[in-house]
Structure 1
Amino acid sequence: MQQLPSGAASATPLPDMNLLPALDALLRAGSVAGAAAELNVSPSAMSRTLGRLRRVVGDPLLVPSGRGLALTPRAREMRPLVREALAGALAALRPPRDVDLASLHREFRIRTNDGIAMSLGAPLLALAAREAPGVRLRLLPEGEEDPADLRTHVDLDVGELPDPLPHDVRSSALYARRMVAVARAGTDLAREPLTPERFAALPHLTVTRRGRAHSVVDERLAALGLRRDVLATAPTYGAACFFALRTDALALIPFEVAAEATRVMPLVALEIPLDLPLVASGQAWHLRLDTDPAHRWLRGALERVAGAAGAAGAAGAAGAAPAVTGDVARTAG
């Protein structure tokens, strides 16, 4: 006998659930031989199973009638209930089916920074509108991130992921971001090529939620015997772009964010003349959602839009159009 889980409404022992398929076969076939053939067991084994079922149910179920057997009233009453119970058990134990995106109605809570929201948010919304119009996205701002939030109220973390992640959190890479500098269009600041010396001499705007002005940029400049002046730090990439519109300073932001910002703002993007490491971005989710078909679709959708953004960034690194207002430009370093 099996026991109900702790905290269940009743402490009544459960019967052997392996008897359920045999009971279903007996009630449908109305004979021991027919049920035995269906389940590919011997008639004697099925007869013993019928004896066990009679003891569990407290009813003979099948009784002699002429040359065959007949169902008791209790057995006839049980037949649809057993059929439904078996179907429910089989459905619960099957692997998840592919989701019907056209009829999917689901809300996903995604935590990310404003840069990824700016660069991937609109393409993800457009993709969802085409493939899963019933999906709603709730983008949550970054703060003092705790991966444990994925266990409760966050469906997906997107951005720079902590290392290591908790044992019950899964992750996948999205793309590697490269940084560029944006400046106000129409000024000498935006027209002239950046050399390491000129790059260091210009005032800088950097993005950090913790107000730290020092980064790998300073380390690369120090290796060349140069120092820069960080005019201000901004909490978001959007704020840094607005700062650049009102100052003669360079705002250092990811290429994908610059592509969006220069599309709608009078800014020009310039290549940074330093060998800077790429910034890896990924997505993380709790194990409870790992096999969920709808969540798998969401992760795949993000991989697709991130792949397109990463390809655009790689194309920009290989060479792009001359620097003009509204375009991401690459100037010689």
Structure 2
Amino acid sequence: MQLDLNLLTALDALLEEGSVAGAAARLHVTAPAMSRSLGRIRRTTGDQILVRTGHAMTPTPYAVAVREQVHDLLLQARTVLAPSRELDLASLDRTFTLRWHDALVTLGGPALLSAVRSQAPGVRLRFIAESSVDTPELRRAQVDLEANADRPAAPDVRTEQVAESRHVIAVRQGHPLARAGTVTAAQYAAAEHITVSRRGSLGNALDDAFAELGLTRHVVAAAPTEAAAFAFARDSDLLITVPDITMRPAATAFGLTALRLPIELPPAPVHLSWHQRYDSDPAHLWLRDLARTALRGRDGG
């Protein structure tokens, strides 16, 4: 039997997207063409690959078992057919899309852009806002690099923790608690707070930690970004609890003071995430190295 390697590409897309429409969009073909490819894959493997369950498509046990093998085979084929070349930064002409938490853009964005401009002036960076829901842009090659506190669960997304930071309280200069110098758990709970949540949540893991002490925070508002929350804190007596790594640039930009949190919380991680298709891409490796340095620059790693 003569094998068609195009079916390997189609199978990889179908297994990653979990739908005919998604795979078709990713490979820039029509849905009927992808449906025909799925039919050929089914005949070749003797397996249904994807089966409909309600309004969604579910991979068969066989499809789940071979998913990683299929992707590895495709990567090997691409390496053979398009061997990597030495990266010429001076002539590199490429646009990278980065979806970073807004505070991390403030923290590491300027240093990253400066490094990119000095080494590869033909490279452009697109920083885009985080979505309030989980999105598949990394898998669809619409986002090159993410930076936030989350560790994606998708098996085809690579993640590296590049930094971590303890939590601190950010208050305006002259705040009554700032003049006291220290904050007790009772004082912290009694104060008015603002949270940071893309979804507008008024609570987070801090409330669970204080509930164990029999205390309840008084949260009066939620802001969609840390920058917005910092602005509220600058002009009021509101408290905002944030990782120290993102507080440092805000101290100068918003005139805020950092105070020690009265309870211990797990450190906040900073993760870089990318799709595994870019593992060996020379330009992406270069960008990840610069991003890692930029995000660690003020934290020390």
Structure 2 residue aligned with 1:185 = 173
Deviation at 1:5, TM superposition (A): 6.2
Could you state the TM-score of these two structures normalised by the residue count of structure 2? 0.69
1:245 maps onto 2:257 in alignment: no
Structure 2 residue aligned with 1:308 = 297
Structure 2 residue aligned with 1:40 = none
Contact in 1 for aligned 2:137/2:143 (Cα 8 Å): no
Q: Look at both structures and tell me which one has the larger radius of gyration over its CA atoms.
A: 1
Give per-residue Cα distances to partners, 1:105-143, cap 9 Å, x unaligned. 211001122111111111111221222222211011111
Matches within 5 A, 1:142-221: 142-143=130-131, 144-165=133-154, 167-192=155-180, 193-221=182-210
Unaligned runs of 5+ in 2: 8-78
Structure 2 residue aligned with 1:80 = none
Contact in 1 for aligned 2:151/2:159 (Cα 8 Å): no
Tell me the distance in 2 between the aligned counterparts of 1:134 and 1:184.
41
Give per-residue Cα distances to partners, 1:249-283, cap 9 Å, x unaligned. 11122212211111122211112111011122212
Tell me the distance in 2 between the aligned counterparts of 1:218 and 1:130.
45
| Secondary structure in 2 matching 1:182 | strand
Tell me the distance in 1 between the aligned counterparts of 2:118 and 2:193.
41
Contact in 1 for aligned 2:104/2:295 (Cα 8 Å): no
Q: Which has the higher contact order (CA 8 A, sep 6+)?
A: 2
Structure 2 residue aligned with 1:260 = 249
Q: Which amino acid aligns with 2:217?
A: R
Q: 2:85 aligns with which of 89, 97, 104?
A: 97
Structure 1 residue aligned with 2:95 = 107
Tell me the distance in 2 between the aligned counterparts of 1:211 and 1:111.
20
Going from structure 1 to structure 2, the CA distance change for 1:3 and 1:268 (only over 3 Å counts) comes to closer
Q: 2:109 aligns with which of 101, 121, 128?
A: 121
Q: Which amino acid aligns with 1:295?
A: H
Structure 1 residue aligned with 2:44 = none
| Secondary structure in 2 matching 1:172 | strand
Tell me the distance in 2 between the aligned counterparts of 1:160 and 1:256.
12
Could you state the TM-score of these two structures normalised by the residue count of structure 1? 0.63
Q: 2:120 aligns with which of 127, 132, 144?
A: 132
Tell me the distance in 2 between the aligned counterparts of 1:94 and 1:141.
33
Contact in 1 for aligned 2:87/2:282 (Cα 8 Å): yes
Structure 1 residue aligned with 2:262 = 273
Structure 1 residue aligned with 2:32 = none
Structure 1 residue aligned with 2:68 = none
Range moving further from structure 2, 132-141 or 92-101: 92-101
Structure 2 residue aligned with 1:26 = none
Contact in 2 for aligned 1:180/1:270 (Cα 8 Å): yes
Contact in 1 for aligned 2:197/2:223 (Cα 8 Å): yes
- Structural RMSD (CA): 2.4
Tell me the distance in 2 between the aligned counterparts of 1:287 and 1:185.
45
Give per-residue Cα distances to partners, 1:61-100, cap 9 Å, x unaligned. xxxxxxxxxxxxxxxxxxxxxxxxxxxxxx9647413312
Tell me the distance in 1 between the aligned counterparts of 2:262 and 2:223.
22
Going from structure 1 to structure 2, the CA distance change for 1:231 and 1:212 (only over 3 Å counts) comes to same
Structure 1 residue aligned with 2:23 = none
Tell me the distance in 2 between the aligned counterparts of 1:179 and 1:123.
23
Structure 2 residue aligned with 1:233 = 222
